[in-house]
Amino acid sequence: MITLETKRRKTEYAIGIDLGGTFIKAALVDSKGKIIKHFKTETYSEISPKKVLSQIEMCIDTLKQDFKKEIIGIGIGAPGIVTKGVMKYPPNFKGWKEVNLKKHFEKKYKTETIADNDANCAGLAELKFGHGSKYNNFIFLTLGTGIGGAMVIEGKIYRGEQNGAGEFGMMTIDYKGPMCLGGNRGSIEAHIGRNYFLEQNKNEIKKLGKNIDFDDISHLALKGNKTAKKLLNLYGFYLGVAVTNYFNLMDVRTAVLGGGISNAYKSFIGELNKTIKTRSLKTIRNKFRVLRSSINNNAGVLGAAALIFE
Amino acid sequence: MITLETKRRKTEYAIGIDLGGTFIKAALVDSKGKIIKHFKTETYSEISPKKVLSQIEMCIDTLKQDFKKEIIGIGIGAPGIVTKGVMKYPPNFKGWKEVNLKKHFEKKYKTETIADNDANCAGLAELKFGHGSKYNNFIFLTLGTGIGGAMVIEGKIYRGEQNGAGEFGMMTIDYKGPMCLGGNRGSIEAHIGRNYFLEQNKNEIKKLGKNIDFDDISHLALKGNKTAKKLLNLYGFYLGVAVTNYFNLMDVRTAVLGGGISNAYKSFIGELNKTIKTRSLKTIRNKFRVLRSSINNNAGVLGAAALIFE
């Protein structure tokens, strides 16, 4: 039905901004999820909020140039907490307290602007243009330096009381476990966030060579290296414990994995699935599925644009 | 607005059945949550499903006797998994596989029958007749032998894909922790389910005397006994870890505690609140509240009847 409606409706255009600490990615996207133009530039987050805003404006201006059709809005995916268009205390942005992105860009461009956190945007991209065509309920997880989550319930992003839902990375799986920066001992992020994982397993990782990063471990595991396989099994186990907590609580049966570390999917999915089977209700333990994101690379800009089409 | 609507509508009546392994509690309830009549009898779950059904019928017949107004439906709260009126493999019911309660009682009494699991019913009672008048989003937790949960989201019980949501007791808080009967190592139920807690802390509990049960510990803690206080602090800590997982994930800020062990609320709430503050996002850590259920004793029958008024 959604597909039919989309077909009937005429194609619309929006700008999607994926605001990261290092780069700003921007794209002009149509309502079917096709990227018409894209542009990428440095964020200069170490300079000032003003500089970041002018960099975003440069992206928007570049995309608008020579495009004759109407652009119905600007969607922005930003790190940290975003409430009613206000981006609050993002990690790694110098001098940034609270900046009202919605107000700033609506004034400047006289077009609707919606901002949300980047995990929700990635989940929304999956919902609108990826596995969402088949699954109405899933959790989308971003696996990288941090562990982000977006909850899709009955075809919509669930946002919670104050747009703060989906802090999946903060879920404690071992209350005695390693400390995370937020003070939440034993959270899933403190186990499988990229740097935490590399640090906690450095003795094993040393066996693989010097300057080994996560991609190296993944490549070595695929080639059959036992130490690398063991490490990724551990990754899959930790993630499995947390995903099962979600499945058991929500009676949702699908998880979709995005973010850089999801590239190692093949190396940890076996242990992940095994963990889910062990820890879920006996009567339904064969009904769960964990999928790779179908639109990993452009999820940020597509999801940001989808805020406008939502 | 809800209150106004309720006032405008004429009072309706339903029967609520709280089906437990040992007793069946039944009540005739009005749509304002007032209990008109109530009745209690043995379940005879050790005999047969047929016997249990006839006991429920006896309850219904007793409540209907001499009541002249229309009864608009029968609500049943039952242990374990209940899907579309079918009660499946309840623990401690002999010879019971799947029984369609809805079909059975609709045929017998020609009136709408709705069955749901007992945790959802208790949560629904709180929503309709308790703290729900003030809070639109909360988790209701039943603290007893098992740990049950009912999730209230935007004024409704959230039921999940197949009415299985809210299995709060299965949430892992220590993947290396004690095993629970369901095979889920380190679940919150394996830490604070009544018998698990007593067993794991038996050495400390011995110091308090012989044949000490949970109520004794609670009484001793209130009198200032240090060992008892330490035990209830531990209870509060474990529960706090799990509740914070919920708050962080859902961006919900209220939990309501019911079930027998919630009587010890005063003895563990301090440590529970401290744990939430330590483990939640810094910016909102003073915004959470954990309340006692306002209708503890009759939650079962009130919630079952509320299935009809929902």
Listing DSSP states for chain A in one string gives -HHHHHHHSPP-EEEEEEE-SSEEEEEEEETTS-EEEEEEEE--TTT-HHHHHHHHHHHHHHHHTT--SPP--EEEEESSEEETTEEES-TT-TT-SEEEHHHHHHHHHSS-EEEEEHHHHHHHHHHHHSGGGT-SSEEEEEESSSEEEEEEETTEEE--TTS----GGG-BSBTTS---TTS-TTBHHHHHSHHHHHHHTHHHHHTT-SS--HHHHHHHHHTT-HHHHHHHHHHHHHHHHHHHHHHHHHT--EEEEESGGGGGHHHHHHHHHHHHHHHS-GGGTTS-EEEE-SSTTTHHHHHHHHHHH-
DSSP B174: B
Evaluate if residue B149 carries a pLDDT over 50: yes
Least reliable range by pLDDT among A38-47, A228-237, A295-304, B200-209: A295-304
Residues of A in contact with B248 (CB under 8 A): 167, 170-171, 184
What is the distance between the alpha carbons of residues B275 and A289, in angstroms, rounded to a whole number? 33
State how far residue B180 is from chain A, nearest Cα, in angstroms.
Answer: 10
Q: Which two tokens stand for residue A139?
A: 């959790």
Evaluate if residue B228 carries a pLDDT over 70: yes
State how far residue A171 is from chain B, nearest Cα, in angstroms.
Answer: 5
Q: Stretch A110-123: mean pLDDT, rounded?
A: 95
- Taking CA–CA distances from B191, the nearest residue in chain A reads A175
Residue A1 has what pLDDT?
44
Residue B103 identity: K
In this prediction, residue B224 has a pLDDT band, given cuts at 50, 70 and 90, of: very high
Higher pLDDT, A290 or B184: A290
In this prediction, residue B90 has a pLDDT band, given cuts at 50, 70 and 90, of: confident
Q: Judging by DSSP bridges, how do beta strands B98-100 and B81-83 pair with one another?
A: unpaired
Residue A144 has what pLDDT?
92
Residue A268 identity: F
In this prediction, residue A99 has a pLDDT band, given cuts at 50, 70 and 90, of: very high
Query: Could you give the angle at the alpha carbon of B187 between the alpha carbons of B259 and A80, nearest 5°?
Result: 100
| Rounded CA Rg of chain B | 20
Pick from A137, A172, A244: CB nearest B241: A172
Evaluate if residue A125 carries a pLDDT over 70: yes
In this prediction, residue B161 has a pLDDT band, given cuts at 50, 70 and 90, of: very high
> Across-strand partners of A35?
A29
Q: Stretch B27-32: mean pLDDT, rounded?
A: 97
3-class DSSP assignment, residue B299:
helix
Averaged pLDDT of chain A: 93
Residue B116 has what pLDDT?
95
pLDDT tens digit sequence for B185-201: 999 999 999 999 999 99
The reply to whether the predicted model has a pTM over 0.80 is: yes
Q: Stretch A188-200: mean pLDDT, rounded?
A: 95
Cβ separation of B175 and A174 shorter than 8 Å?
Answer: yes
Residue A14 has what pLDDT?
98
Q: Which two tokens stand for residue B38?
A: 């109530």
Pick from B153, B176, B253: CB nearest A174: B176
Which percentage of chain B shows pLDDT scores above 90? 85
Q: Stretch B95-119: mean pLDDT, rounded?
A: 95
pLDDT tens digit sequence for B49-67: 999 999 999 999 999 999 9
pLDDT tens digit sequence for A242-267: 999 999 999 999 999 999 999 999 99
Which percentage of chain A shows pLDDT scores above 90? 85
- B110-134: buried (b, 16+ CB within 10 Å) or exposed (e) per residue? ebbbbbbbbbbbbbbbbbbbbbbee
DSSP B28-58: EEETTS-EEEEEEEE--TTT-HHHHHHHHHH
**Phi, psi values for residue A287, rounded to 5°:** -100, 5
- Name the nearest CA neighbour of B159 among A229, A306, A154: A154
Higher pLDDT, B36 or B180: B36
Q: How many CB pairs under 8 A join A and B?
A: 140
Residue B78 has what pLDDT?
94
Evaluate if residue B3 carries a pLDDT over 90: no
Q: Stretch B26-38: mean pLDDT, rounded?
A: 97
Q: What is the 3-state secondary structure (H, E, C) of B280-297?
A: CCHHHCCCCEEEECCCCC
Residue A7 has what pLDDT?
52
What is the distance between the alpha carbons of residues A91 and A93, in angstroms, rounded to a whole number? 6
CA of residue A306 relative to chain centroid, distance? 14
Query: Could you give the angle at the alpha carbon of A310 between the alpha carbons of A309 and B1, nearest 5°?
Result: 140
Least reliable range by pLDDT among A53-62, A126-135, B88-97, B234-243: B88-97
Q: Stretch B126-150: mean pLDDT, rounded?
A: 95
Residue B297 has what pLDDT?
78
Evaluate if residue B4 carries a pLDDT over 70: no
**Inter-residue contact B257 to B143 (CB < 8 Å):** yes
Evaluate if residue B26 carries a pLDDT over 80: yes
Q: Stretch A153-173: mean pLDDT, rounded?
A: 94
Residue B1 has what pLDDT?
44
- Taking CA–CA distances from A280, the nearest residue in chain B reads B184
Cβ separation of A175 and B238 shorter than 8 Å?
Answer: yes
Residues 6 or more apart whose CB falls under 8 angstroms from that of B1 comprise: none
3-class DSSP assignment, residue B152:
strand
Residue A123 identity: G
- Name the nearest CA neighbour of A104 among A57, A38, A42: A57
Residues 6 or more apart whose CB falls under 8 angstroms from that of B86 comprise: B98, B99, B100, B101, B102, B115
Cβ separation of A172 and B244 shorter than 8 Å?
Answer: yes
Pick from B151, B185, B279: CB nearest A184: B279
**Inter-residue contact B283 to A97 (CB < 8 Å):** no
Q: How far is CA B67 from CA B10, B11, B36, in A?
A: 17, 14, 10
> Across-strand partners of A143?
A147
Evaluate if residue B7 carries a pLDDT over 80: no
What is the distance between the alpha carbons of residues B189 and B197, in angstroms, rounded to a whole number? 9
DSSP B143: E
Cβ separation of B249 and A252 shorter than 8 Å?
Answer: no
- Name the nearest CA neighbour of A302 among A127, A149, A138: A127
Evaluate if residue A8 carries a pLDDT over 60: no
Residues of B in contact with A244 (CB under 8 A): 170, 172, 184
What is the distance between the alpha carbons of residues B213 and B230, in angstroms, rounded to a whole number? 15
Evaluate if residue A201 carries a pLDDT over 70: yes
Residue A296 has what pLDDT?
65
Q: Stretch B165-172: mean pLDDT, rounded?
A: 95
Most A CBs within 10 A among B84, B248, B272, B284, hence the mutation to make, goes to B248
Q: Stretch A47-54: mean pLDDT, rounded?
A: 96
3-class DSSP assignment, residue B181:
coil
Q: Report the residue count for chain A.
A: 310
Which percentage of chain B shows pLDDT scores above 70? 97
State how far residue B136 is from chain A, nearest Cα, in angstroms.
Answer: 9
Higher pLDDT, B10 or A141: A141
What is the distance between the alpha carbons of residues B310 and B305, in angstroms, rounded to a whole number? 9
Residues of B in contact with A170 (CB under 8 A): 244-245, 248-249, 279-281
- Taking CA–CA distances from B157, the nearest residue in chain A reads A250
Residues of B in contact with A91 (CB under 8 A): none
Residue B59 has what pLDDT?
98
State how far residue A160 is from chain B, nearest Cα, in angstroms.
Answer: 5
Pick from A88, A164, A249: CB nearest B251: A164
Q: Stretch B227-231: mean pLDDT, rounded?
A: 97
Residue B249 parent element (H or E): helix B226-250
Evaluate if residue B243 carries a pLDDT over 90: yes
Q: Which two tokens stand for residue A183?
A: 């003070």
